Amino acid sequence: MHRHRCEPCVAPPPLTDNRWAQPQQGKGVQVSGSGEIGVVIVEDHDLVRQGLRALLERDPAITVVGEARRVAEAIEVVVESEPQVVLLDLRLGNEDGAEVSRRLREEAPDVRVLVLSAHERSSDLRAAMAAGAAGYLLKRTSPDLLLESVRRVAEGERVIDQAFVPFLVGLPSERGDTRDLSPREQQVLALVAEGLPNRLIAERLGISQSTAQTHMENLFRKFDCHDRTELVAKAFRQDFLE
């Protein structure tokens, strides 16, 4: 099985900006910013939440517009701050984080939920998807991949950690004879399976980003799919990836 390589998480530097005062217990925090993508972080561990906030704000396209520790305050913060993306931990103390996603489908249906979990269990993935989540990543995900995933989810794509590809496949091989891939398309497909975005694929192969995008479009057409997760799942199912 070809799985993506995950870099160890590195703790971000301490926060010193006074805008980011710690929330009082039981209170959500609203924050204004200029990034195109507004994000609310729902995470009950203060240290993890602070680290995620620091990482997200390194991307000029992203602004953290709110934080929450529990389900009820998460709904309140999201409804008030109207983010594009909610970055959600499934374990919020003794509460089920998936409830946030379920309730947002009714109260803020345009908001997209990206789960960030420490648990590599297919049952958690299924629960998150059933609750309406647009993506599921493991906390060992590299910082660059997390930022890229937030952008992709905000643009309407689904993002699922490559560790879960075996759970997405689960069907017998059905390789077709009419879907021949060029050597370059095979290289691009392998890097997509590692979780690399177009920018890093272009760097790895020494091609332009527009050329990488063209190869991606050809792969989507040949596999009759619309996002990377579906592409990788079909490629595994049809024996184009091992």
pLDDT given at position 28: 39
- 34 pLDDT exceeds 80? no
pLDDT of residue 159: 87
Homologous superfamily of domain range 18-166: Response regulator (3.40.50.2300)
What pLDDT is attached to residue 169?
52
Compute the mean pLDDT over every residue in the chain, rounded to the nearest whole number.
78
**Closest CA relative to residue 1, chosen from 177, 188, 227, 168:** 168
Which residue has better confidence, 80 or 97?
80
Structural domain boundaries of the chain?
A: 18-166, 174-237
pLDDT digits (tens, 9 = 90+) for 156-168: 888 888 887 766 6
Best CA proximity match to 166, nearest among 220, 101, 116, 121 = 121
The residue type at 58: R
Mean pLDDT, to the nearest integer, of 103-117?
A: 89
| Beta carbons of 31 and 17 less than 8 angstroms apart | no
Instruction: Report helix angle 209-223 to 198-205, nearest 10.
Output: 110
- What is the value of pTM for the model shown? 0.59
Lowest mean pLDDT among 20-34, 42-56, 137-151: 20-34
Find, among 46, 99, 47, the residue nearest to 68 by Cα. 46
Q: What percentage of residues in the chain have a pLDDT greater than 70?
A: 79
Please classify residue 157 by burial: count the beta carbons closer than 10 Å to its beta carbon, then call 0-12 exposed, 13-18 middle and 19+ buried: middle
pLDDT for the residue numbered 1: 44
Q: Does residue 21 have a pLDDT over 50? A: no
Does pLDDT of 64 surpass 90? yes
Q: Bigger pLDDT: 48 or 236? A: 48
Whether the pLDDT of residue 101 is over 70: the answer is yes
Most confidently modeled of 7-21, 150-164, 223-237? 150-164
The CATH number fitting domain 174-237, selected from 3.40.50.300, 1.10.10.10, 3.40.50.1400, 3.40.190.10: 1.10.10.10
173 against 229, higher pLDDT? 229
CB 169 within 8 A of CB 237: yes
- Count Cα neighbours of 100 within 13 Å in the Cβ-side half-sphere: 34
What is the model's pLDDT at position 168? 62
pLDDT for res 27: 36
Q: What's the confidence (pLDDT) of residue 182? A: 80
